[in-house]
Amino acid sequence: MKLHEYQAKDVFAEAGIPVPESRLATSVDEVMEAVADIGYPAAIKAQVHVGGRGKAGGIKIATDEDEAREAAEDILGMDLKGYTVEKVLVEAGVDFENELYVGITMDRGEGEPVAMVSTEGGVDIESVAEETPEAIAREHIDPAFGLHPYQARKVVYEAGIPRDVAGDVASILSTLYDLYESKDASDIEINPVMITSDREVVAADAVMNIDEDALFRHPDLAEMEDEAAEDDLERKANEYGFDYVRLSGNVGIIGNGAGLVMTTLDLVDHYGGEPANFLDIGGGAKAERVANALDMVFADENVDAVVFNIFGGITRGDEVAKGINEALESFDEIPKKVVVRLAGTNAEEGMEILNTDLVEVEKTLEDAVQRAVENAQEASQ
């Protein structure tokens, strides 16, 4: 779950990290009231879950009332990379001399969190990592012991942070790790940390992503979830209780069990197709659940064909077949070609039940995936 900048800054401020004075606004009048209280210059920043807001016109600096009003009118309601801006953060301008990057994330290769510090703040840190990786100092953290103070100081000095602010930056890094651990964060960063002309350090931006599976431990954070930021299909998946990830391809995939679905994804790629989603309906799925899964995949405009891969264990093949028939019979016209592969418990019974006027049936997973990829390629031509 991604927190908005204003939400993450509230968490940071509560933990003692310095942040600029700011107010949230949802209308032009509220923006004008906020800048009247905060003063000029002020930053007016779109609150949407996308990167590159500044380059896309979602962040503007106002030095007077006319510029503030113009910025508010331009940003509120704008389409920013597919998201409508409904609220902005009005924030006091910072007179800064340098911009730094400070963050904590999981290094999956090492199996440990890693603290990262760089003097190349204010720019896309992924580009820095790719083009000049030596510009980022890193320190791995043993989760059994946490981030030791000496480690925070070490990575800050290795990054080349000026000595007069190094202690403050190390303190911010230590606080970020405390939040990363205590709030079950998956990523947490400040880009940039600004060094002001008075040699103070301020968090000018804030990113904090929370592990959704841990939200039951953090009801205060769960209340911050922005339903408007969710993809419609992801919202529908949550309603149905599915494990679902939307991808960029055109072959819809439905299966029971994460391993089976991942295998299907790999085979789609192997046979020259592109998966449109990961959708696991789980074990013991009944007809209604199967029908909901098909409804979801059909609702994805990117999907040109569907492969349904079920291995019967708890999930019986005949129940799945009933669900497929019920779902497809509810359509006046089948919107996408569906290929079904059933194996395991009651698979033969399920194959007999399937309405072959509505679906294509294959005995092996390889044949089913190949057929689905071919169907998608034909539909996209």
Where among 92, 123, 151 does a domain terminate? 92
Same domain, 151 and 35: no
Same domain, 83 and 163: no
Residue 16 lies in a domain: no
Same domain, 86 and 197: no
105 is in an annotated binding site: no
Where among 172, 191, 223 does a domain terminate? 223
Catalytic residues: 101, 189
Domain coverage including residue 59: 21-92
Same domain, 124 and 169: yes
**Picking from 27-31, 164-168, 257-261, which range would have the lowest pLDDT averaged per residue?**
257-261
70 is in an annotated binding site: no
Tell me, what's the pLDDT at 285? 59
Alpha-carbon gap, residue 67 to 171, rounded angstroms: 36
111 is in an annotated binding site: no
> 348, exposed or middle or buried, with CB in 10 Å at 0-12, 13-18, 19+?
exposed
**Picking from 72-86, 161-175, 190-204, which range would have the lowest pLDDT averaged per residue?**
72-86
* CATH of residue 289: 3.40.50.261
256 is in an annotated binding site: yes
Give the pLDDT confidence of 324-369 residue by residue, as tens digits: 888 888 888 888 999 999 998 888 888 889 988 889 999 899 999 9
Q: How many helices (H) and strands (E) does the chain have?
A: 13, 18
Residue 14 lies in a domain: no
Residue 365 lies in a domain: yes
Domain count of the fold of the chain? 3
| Whether the bond into 335 is cis, omega within 30 of 0 | no
Rounded percentage of the chain residues whose pLDDT exceeds 70? 97
Same domain, 86 and 100: no
Same domain, 327 and 348: yes
* pTM recorded for the entire structure: 0.69
249 is in an annotated binding site: no
